[in-house]
């Protein structure tokens, strides 16, 4: 199976705009976007819940961009840039799909907003629920049982 939207011609900007419009249509009261070298961030607020998605960006120096897949020949700078930009566009299309699918599932009553977006809720600490819960969940699986007092008690004094 191929990677979703691996051949997309939709620009990253158009995908971001689509995400913003979709969120507004489903009731978001704010939207933000930013980036650093290795990731982009999309944040929004729905019913006072702050949500953050971190979108990892590919390493522009990775061999998949710098060399051809068939013979391993070094690509030109223009070819490297084009291959990298294609990967970035693909990731933005995938995020647009994820956000839209999650909101549609909420709208259809399949899940609640909290169930579908809860791991991406931004806590007062600046961490997401996933940042707090997933390490404890992994530890519970490693231990083979739930800790007394609940999942979040693992590793707490």
Convert the pLDDT of each residue in 106-126 to its tens digit.
999 999 999 999 999 999 999
| pLDDT of res. 157 | 47
DSSP result, 65-129: HHB-TTT-PBPPHHHHHHHHHHHHHHHHHHHHHHHHHHHHHHHTTSS-HHHHHGGGBBPTTS-BH
- List the structure tokens of 14: 């158009």
Interval 35-59: pLDDT, tens: 998 999 999 999 999 999 999 999 9
First-to-last C-alpha distance (Å) of the chain: 46
Interval 62-115: pLDDT, tens: 999 999 989 999 999 999 999 999 999 999 999 999 999 999 999 999 999 999
- List the structure tokens of 94: 């995938």
């Amino acid at each position: 199976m191929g990677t979703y939207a691996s051949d997309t011609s939709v620009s990253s900007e158009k995908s971001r705009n689509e995400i913003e419009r979709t969120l507004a249509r489903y009731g978001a009261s704010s939207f933000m976007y930013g980036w650093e070298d290795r990731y982009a961030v999309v944040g929004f607020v729905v019913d006072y819940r702050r949500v953050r998605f971190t979108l990892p960006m590919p390493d522009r120096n990775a061999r998949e961009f710098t060399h051809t897949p068939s013979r391993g020949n070094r690509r030109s700078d223009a070819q490297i840039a084009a291959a990298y930009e294609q990967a970035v566009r693909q990731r933005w299309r995938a995020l647009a799909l994820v956000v839209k699918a999650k909101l549609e599932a909420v709208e259809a009553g399949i899940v609640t907003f909290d169930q579908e977006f809860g791991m991406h809720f931004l806590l007062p600490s600046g961490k997401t629920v996933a940042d707090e819960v997933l390490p404890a969940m992994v530890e519970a699986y490693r231990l083979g049982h739930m800790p007394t007092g609940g999942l979040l008690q693992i590793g707490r004094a």
